Amino acid sequence: MTDSQNYDAIIIGAGVLGCAIALEMSRRGKRTLNVDKAPAAGSGSTSNSCAIVRFTYSTKVGVAFSWEGGQYWKDWANYIGTDDELGLIDYHQVGQLNLFTDDAERLTKVHKLWDEVGIPYEYLTPDQLDERFPFMDFGWYGPPTRPDDPAFWKDAEGPVKGALWSPDAGYVSDPQLSCHNLQRGAEAEGGEFRFRTEVTAVSTAGGQVSGVTLTDSVGNSVDVSAPIVINVAGPHSYLINQMAGVYDEMNIKTRALRHEVHHVPSPEGIDFMSAGTVGADDDIGFYFRPEVGNNVLLGSVDADCDPSEYVHPDDYDTSIDRDQWKTQVLRATRRMPGMGVPPDHEARGIVDLYDVSDDWLPIYDRTELGGFYVAIGTSGNQYKNAGAVGQAMADLIEAVESGHDHDTDPIQVTGRYTGLKIDLSAYSRNREINPDSSMSVHG
């Protein structure tokens, strides 16, 4: 084996989190290798992320983590620290609208947490909503239903209760480019990447990870050694955990959830790219943001009435479900009446996978296999935290590899931008299901 096959850390996955971890660890002097079966950084599930940056979490640690993560997008060029021949992403800080419905308890809790953390926001009354967004209907229609339910077609029962407006929220219109930016940043520090390459075995010795076996697209295999292996494999994460023999010992587990979002032309006469916003609408049951070409991107908030389809990550239907498409578009037309409903043959959208944990919160942790770490259960809600996750995982790994017992004395990460404390016990593999989780996602 040549020296080129020995690394300080192997990172399984080159999505936004895997690339952010590579950037952070390579800057700390580690020789890293990212491995991904896809053809390029971010061309797995990250490429189809809605890439919404928001701060609406129901726990203080979740709010603090997202607020810290949001600062990276505002400081992206300095954070990346090098040029990218493809250019750098733009962060579209258009704000987020979070509607109050009949059940205002969750958003009331959110804004109290924002007060504690110091996140700016406004409370908008129904009249202020009408003034700011005259092309939207702010009737109270919920709870979410589907078109085959007569309740779907009922008239509004008065206006919604109001909304929280978060001016710092927004979105990234090219999530795959963000991964390429991170890749170039890591490579500038000596990080390496291999694509179209699959991990087919995890090697161990004496209760410690020792490397992986890689197989390329034409079937050639090679053993690569490293004392640290990090599973950031997205929807394939549970398969990697099974391969490493750590799946059964984890109290919180992950699985792949099929999910789709849809693209619809903006309401007639509205430049949604400039007048639109990111929106979280638990009243009707969808979230939205501007999409290139003056479109509106629509996704489900995973309301109880919407089906959940857990699948094998290499075997699932990638075609648009016409029933779900129609449901989402009809929901959107209740809130944006000028949008209209395109005919079925014009249905547009993307289908991909979430890597979902038992309580829809991520796992950032060590495992019982020495040197084997996980950053999993992240799809749908952790894109926004990529930079902060890179720091958190690097801090965690440094501490554990230096002998710190993270299981009994959890690491407290100090955000480099905000100075906020992030208690990583909230993301433990051994936690109980968090009762404060919304068990859903707003993109």
Examine the domain organization and report whether 36 and 117 are in the same domain: no
Q: What percent of the chain has pLDDT over 70?
A: 95
For residues 434 and 252, the answer to whether their CB atoms sit within 8 Å is: no
Ramachandran angles phi, psi of 88, nearest 5°: -105, 155
What counts of helices (H) and strands (E) characterise the chain? 10, 23
Structure tokens given for 141: 């229609």
C-alpha to C-alpha distance for 349 and 264, rounded to whole angstroms: 9
SS3 content of the chain, % helix, strand, coil (to 5): 30, 25, 45
* Percent of the chain whose pLDDT exceeds 90: 87
Residue 183 shares a structural domain with residue 82:
yes
Alpha helices in 235-385 (DSSP H): 237-244, 272-275, 322-335
Mean pLDDT for 271-300 is: 94
Identify whether residues 138 and 220 lie together within a single domain: no
- The predicted model gives 2-7 an average pLDDT of 70
What's 65's domain CATH number? 3.50.50.60
pLDDT value, residue 2: 37
| Closest to 147 measured CA to CA, from 318, 299, 322 | 322
For range 12-41, the mean pLDDT: 97
> pLDDT by residue (tens digit) across 141-172?
989 999 999 999 999 999 998 999 999 999 99
pLDDT of residue 379: 82
Examine residue 175 and say whether the peptide bond preceding it is cis (omega within 30 degrees of 0): no
Identify whether residues 236 and 365 lie together within a single domain.
yes
Q: Say if residue 245 is in the same domain as residue 261.
A: no
121 & 240 share domain: no
Same domain flag for 262 and 122: yes
- Residue 48's pLDDT band, with cuts at 50, 70 and 90, is confident
Last residue of a domain, one of 321, 352, 383: 352
Mean pLDDT of 408-419: 98
Q: Of 172, 170, 339, 169, nearest to 270 (Cα)? A: 339
| Separation CA 431–CA 297 (nearest Å) | 34
Average the pLDDT over 375-388 and give the result: 93
Return the pLDDT at 58.
84
Both tokens of 401, joined, read: 């590899």
Do 325 and 240 belong to one domain?
no
Domain containing residue 320: CATH number? 3.30.9.10
**Among 66-80, 116-130, 427-441, which stretch is predicted with the lowest mean pLDDT?**
427-441
Mean pLDDT of the chain: 93
User: Looking at 324, 352, 380, which one is the last position of a domain?
Assistant: 352
Q: Do 67 and 40 sit in the same domain of this protein?
A: yes
Domain around 302: 91-170+257-352
Rounded CA-CA distance 390/19 in Å is 8
Q: Residue 81 and residue 353: Cα distance in Å, rounded?
A: 31
Using alpha carbons, list the distances in angstroms from residue 62 to 72, 170, 227: 16, 17, 30
In a domain, 332, yes or no: yes
261 and 246 housed in the same domain: no
Instruction: Say whether both 263 and 325 belong to one domain.
Output: yes
Mean pLDDT in residue range 17-39? 98
pLDDT band at 3 (very low <50, low <70, confident <90, very high): very low
Q: For the chain, how many structural domains are there in total? A: 2
Residue 136 and residue 21 share a domain: no
Question: Nearest-CA neighbor of 236 among 442, 18, 431?
Answer: 18
Q: Is the pLDDT of residue 400 over 60?
A: yes
**How far does Cα 222 stand from its chain's mean position?**
32
253 pLDDT higher than 80: yes
